Amino acid sequence: MAYLDHIAACNRHDLSRFRPFVIDGTGVGWVRHDVAHRLAPYPEVFRVGRDAVTLHPLLTSPQARTEAVGGVALDLHRAWGTPAPRGEMYRVAGRFGAPPLMDIDRGVVSLFGIRAYGIHVNGLVRRPDGDHLWIARRSPDKSVAPGALDNMVAGGQPGALSLADNLLKEAAEEADIPAALAATARPVGAIAYCMEDEWGLKPDVMFCYDLAVPEDFVPRNTDGEIDRFTLMPVAEVARLVRDTTRFKFNVNLVILDFLIRHGHLSPDREPDYLDLVAGLRRGVR
């Protein structure tokens, strides 16, 4: 196995299986052809063409679009077994920071191929014997990647919160990090990937942060999503990424970015160095 395998795994998709999803002239996602056929019986919401799926032009406000699409998504879940709504809304726009065209439930983001955003925080401990990272083990009852290793803090980006507010919220819930300490997290860039899942496409972007925590700080989960935390030398974390699939699929990319930025991967010693650098930011926007 090689580091580059993780980037390849997170970018496996075939766009010939999809058609664009367009709102008011703006491409916001991708709908798989079989899903598009299921949307055709809702002409008051969707216009399903051979080349694209568009929202009905009479749906002119973000709220009307949100309610209409949400109702169809609930119908599809009941009739066809598509993902259930999860009660957390993501913003839909042409690019990050643009005015929202609508909101969509997190559970059906991939059904419409909507670009989703999230935050990932590397918990860094600088010790005399070298840098260490706090690594979380996801709860065995998580619906995605149960029992897999994860960053100290990670979570999706709700439409109603700023990135900074979401970081404080997730840091408190996932690792019991005091707000004053969490606020010192340093934004270090973003990573993008695009992969197919069971129902559609995941063109996701992860905003990455480094948070240096004191040696005596021990994270503690408060929301039941993390089973335990382990403080690992960076060299051991790198080995696990290189040689195993123990980390949640997209977390491998966050750690690779960390290893590159902090000089733990060298262009003289890593033959795939340039491919790794380029592969971490495919389609960031």
Per residue in 110-120, pLDDT tens? 999 999 999 99
Which phi and psi angles does 99 have, rounded to 5°? Answer: -55, 135
pLDDT of 284 over the 80 cut = no
CATH 3.90.79.10 residue ranges of the chain are 3-10+116-279
pLDDT of 211 over the 80 cut = yes
Which comes out higher in pLDDT, residue 282 or 54? 54
Please give the pLDDT value at position 282. 82
* Whether the Cβ atoms of residue 192 and residue 7 lie closer than 8 Å to each other: no
Which pTM does this prediction carry?
Answer: 0.95
For 3-10+116-279, CATH gives 3.90.79.10
Rounded to whole angstroms, the Cα distance separating 193 from 99 reads 23
pLDDT of 283 over the 80 cut = no
Strands 130-138 and 117-127: antiparallel
Helix (H, G, I), strand (E, B) or coil at 274: helix
pLDDT band of residue 149 (cuts 50, 70, 90) is: very high
pLDDT digits (tens, 9 = 90+) for 173-191: 999 999 999 999 999 999 9
259-279: average pLDDT: 97
Please give the pLDDT value at position 247. 98
Q: DSSP labels for 81-133? A: -PPPP-S-EEEE-SSTTSPPSEEEEGGGTGGGT---EEEEEEEEEEETTEEEE
CATH 3.30.750.160 residue ranges of the chain are 15-112
pLDDT digits (tens, 9 = 90+) for 13-32: 999 999 999 999 999 999 99
85-95: average pLDDT: 95
pLDDT digits (tens, 9 = 90+) for 233-256: 999 999 999 999 999 999 999 999
pLDDT digits (tens, 9 = 90+) for 130-144: 999 999 999 999 989
| pLDDT, mean over the chain | 96
Please give the pLDDT value at position 89. 96
- CA nearest to 55, candidates 28, 35, 74, 34: 28
CB-side exposure of 177: number of CA atoms within 13 Å? 27
For 15-112, CATH gives 3.30.750.160
pLDDT of 201 over the 90 cut = yes
pLDDT band of residue 1 (cuts 50, 70, 90) is: confident
